A = this chain, B = another copy of it.
Amino acid sequence: MSDNTRKPLVAILMGSKNDWETMQAAGKIFDEFGIVYEAKVASAHRSPELVAEFTKSAERRGLEVMIAAAGLAAHLAGVVASMTLLPVLGVPMQGNAVGGLDALLSMVQMPGGVPVGTLAIGSHGAKNAALLAIRILANSRPELREKLRGYHAKMAAEIEKQTLS
Chain A interfacial positions (CB closer than 8 Å to B): 1, 15-17, 20, 25, 39, 41-50, 59, 64, 71-73, 75, 78-79, 81-83, 85-89, 94-124, 127-129, 131-132, 135-140, 145, 148-149, 152, 155-156, 159-160, 162, 164
Contact = CB atoms under 8 A, between A and B. Distances in A.
A118 B155 CA distance: 23
Contact of A102 (B17, B106, B127): B106
12 contacts: A25-B112, A46-B113, A47-B156, A48-B156, A49-B156, A72-B109, A73-B116, A96-B99, A98-B100, A102-B109, A113-B155, A115-B119
Contacts of A112: 25, 120, 123-124, 127-128
Contacts of A46: 82, 111, 113-114, 152, 155-156, 159
A98 B89 contact: no
B160 A47 contact: yes
A146 to B, nearest CB: 9
Contacts of A107: 73
Given A73-B110, A120-B110, A139-B140, A152 B85 contact: yes
Nearest to A147: B85
A115 B83 CA distance: 23
Nearest to A71: B111
Given A73-B107, A75-B106, A115-B132, 12 more contacts: A16-B111, A39-B164, A43-B159, A48-B83, A72-B124, A97-B109, A98-B121, A102-B106, A110-B120, A110-B124, A115-B119, A117-B132
